[in-house]
A and B are shown apart, each in its own frame.
Chain A
Amino acid sequence: MSFADRTAIVGIGESRYGKRASILDISEFALLCQAIKAAADDAGMDIEDIDGFCSFGDERHEPVRVQQALGLPRLRFSNMVWGAGGGGCSGAVMNAALAVHAGICNSVVVYRSLCQGQYQRFGQYRPRPIGGSHMAPFGLLTPAQFVALTFRRHMHLYGTSTDALAEVAVAFRSHAQRNPRAVARSPLTYEDHQASRLIADPFRLFDCCLETDGACAIIVTSRERARNLRHVPTRILAAAQASNPGWGLGPSGSHNMAIDDYATVNSRELAKALFGMAGITPSDLDVAQIYDAFTGVVIMALEDFGICGRGEGGPFAQAGNLRWPHGALPSNTAGGLLSEAYLHGLNLVIEGVRQMRGDSTAQVDNAQTCLVTSGGAQAHKSALILARD
């Protein structure tokens, strides 16, 4: 039995979510502490049992500060996945599970906090070391553009339509409308999507994820310990980190990879590792939470993870397969980064746990397995397969 199936997610905690720069009455750090306390309360465990700390995406708040603020008696494990953005999110959960399985510590909190009004704004231009010379002078400035180039190649190769992008945006918004935590809950139609302003053609406003403030935390512990806690444990059936060769060899980290790897989200090796460990196939999945920084990365991820064939991501989405409750694979059932909140994907893990517990506001009947993917079209990717215990 692998490390993965011997651990479980037992607690989930979230602060309130708000639009970018809307949370100013409380510090980002204090908000994070709220989320961690909420996760311990949710698990029904003493917060003092937390003795491990994992994060990703250049999280600002170090474990030692969290330990002191929450009065935790022991810090036995501290770990951070490299790489900005959300690519390391599931990797952080993997590291937590590894540490628990190795007996290094009892219970690990995986956390992420993001108050963009208190610190920098993501998504906007900021000078990048190599991009400063080979991207910015040409006006190639933001992640929306980086991914627009990747997705345009997908359109060229497979004839993918922007109608597929609209379907992703509209489907996930319809899920968010059922979720009281979601930041964007107003109705969104195909026509609204097509009439929204272009940002980085082919991406329009509603193809880009939200910019939000908030904090999330989850708690990982051993499967034995999990059985004595409040909720049905969510098993970590598989966890993987991967990158195909060549990603990262260039200014944006996504343009000098192998030719047949360009119109992808760099997840084909990841999918092999993940399903290999889980011992299930993509058709066994009941529900999915797919990293949706942009609608286009969802289309390409469907293909990389083998949920549909190469080039079929657009038609697969357009057939309504991502929609709750009747689609073949209801996805981003809380609204995702596009409509719930942008917490670099940790809120996708939380929604995956809700699905495994039967607690989602768009609950898939009898859901037993959930795919969670982390990161867009970028160099470092990770993913989980969660299962109901």
Chain B
Amino acid sequence: MSETYNKPLPRLSAANQPFLDAAREGRLVVQKCQSCGKARFPAASICSNCLSPDAEWIDTSGKGTVWSFCFFHRQYFKGFEAEIPYNVVLVQLDEGPRLYSNLLGVANEDIRAGMRVRAHFEAVTAEATLVKFMPLNEGEE
């Protein structure tokens, strides 16, 4: 945690408050439709599958697969300066939805689509914890 955090922060809204609250507690949650059971992310007011407004937030396993990735070489925010080129990954969660994040604990050149990963919670300010990812440990599936 840093007093001078120089990257964009999540913007709080009624819709994503449960997600950000859970992240602070070390949980990766997504919405699940209480009518058809489809998991979704980001938050939405109705299910795009069955149009039900009824949803609950569920804990995910925090595990997923790298769907795609890129490395960014330009700096728009001071906070990324030391990390350029930094990775951005799209992770397919085992529960279905995909979300964007950064993959930690692995060199850029070793990142591959299909890698198994797990959520890693990084508290960047007192209010904001980001859901990042790490490769699964050996033997984990």
Using CB atoms and an 8 Å cutoff, list the residues of chain A in contact with chain B. 124-125, 127, 130, 132-142, 145, 148-150, 152-153, 156, 197-203, 246, 249-252, 255-256, 262
Task: State in angstroms the CA–CA spacing of A198 and B74 once bound together.
Answer: 9
Task: State in angstroms the CA–CA spacing of A138 and B131 once bound together.
Answer: 9
Q: Is the CB of B85 within 8 A of A201?
A: yes
Q: Which residues from A are CB-within-8-Å of B130? A: 137-138
Q: Which residues from A are CB-within-8-Å of B98? A: 250, 255-256
Q: Is the CB of B88 within 8 A of A149?
A: yes
Q: Please give the distance in Å from B140's CB to the nearest CB on chain A.
A: 22
Task: State in angstroms the CA–CA spacing of A141 and B76 once bound together.
Answer: 8
Q: Which residues from B are CB-within-8-Å of A137? A: 7-10, 124, 128, 130
Q: Is the CB of B42 within 8 A of A134?
A: yes
Using CB atoms and an 8 Å cutoff, list the residues of chain B in contact with chain A. 7-13, 16, 20, 40-42, 44, 48, 67-74, 76-77, 80, 83, 85-86, 88, 90, 97-102, 112-114, 124, 128, 130, 132
Can you give 19 contacting A-B residue pairs, CB < 8 Å?
A: A127-B8, A130-B42, A134-B99, A138-B100, A138-B101, A138-B102, A139-B77, A140-B72, A149-B90, A153-B68, A156-B68, A200-B74, A201-B71, A201-B73, A201-B85, A202-B70, A203-B70, A246-B48, A256-B97
Q: Which residues from B are CB-within-8-Å of A133? A: 10-13, 16, 20, 42
For the complex of A and B, 8 pairs with smallest distance between CB atoms: A148-B70, A136-B8, A201-B71, A156-B113, A153-B68, A133-B10, A132-B11, A198-B73
Q: Is the CB of B73 within 8 A of A134?
A: no
Q: Is the CB of B42 within 8 A of A149?
A: no
Identify which of B10, B73, B132 gathers the most chain A CB atoms within 10 Å of its CB.
Answer: B73
Q: Is the CB of B88 within 8 A of A139?
A: yes
Q: Is the CB of B113 within 8 A of A132?
A: no
Q: Is the CB of A153 within 8 A of B67?
A: yes
Interface of B is mostly: loop
In the complex, which residue of chain A has the Cβ closest to the Cβ of B99? A134
Q: Please give the distance in Å from B84's CB to the nearest CB on chain A.
A: 9
Task: State in angstroms the CA–CA spacing of A251 and B44 once bound together.
Answer: 12
The 8 Å CB contact of A198, one of B10, B83, B85, B100, is B85
State whether A197 and B73 are in contact (beta carbons under 8 Å apart), knowing that A132-B8, A137-B7 are contacts in the complex: yes
Q: Is the CB of A145 within 8 A of B16?
A: no
Q: Please give the distance in Å from B112's CB to the nearest CB on chain A.
A: 8
Q: Which residues from A are CB-within-8-Å of B76? A: 124-125, 141-142
Task: State in angstroms the CA–CA spacing of A165 and B28 once bound together.
Answer: 37
State whether A138 and B88 are in contact (beta carbons under 8 Å apart), knowing that A145-B70, A149-B70 are contacts in the complex: yes
Task: State in angstroms the CA–CA spacing of A204 and B99 once bound together.
Answer: 25
Task: State in angstroms the CA–CA spacing of A145 and B102 once bound together.
Answer: 13
Task: State in angstroms the CA–CA spacing of A210 and B105 once bound together.
Answer: 36
Task: State in angstroms the CA–CA spacing of A140 and B68 once bound together.
Answer: 13
Task: State in angstroms the CA–CA spacing of A250 and B67 once bound together.
Answer: 15
Q: Is the CB of A255 within 8 A of B100?
A: yes
Q: Is the CB of B68 within 8 A of A149?
A: yes
In the complex, which residue of chain B has the Cβ closest to the Cβ of A250? B42
Q: Please give the distance in Å from B19's CB to the nearest CB on chain A.
A: 8
Q: Please give the distance in Å from A326's CB to the nearest CB on chain B.
A: 34
Q: Which residues from B are CB-within-8-Å of A198? A: 71, 73, 85
Q: Please give the distance in Å from B15's CB to the nearest CB on chain A.
A: 9
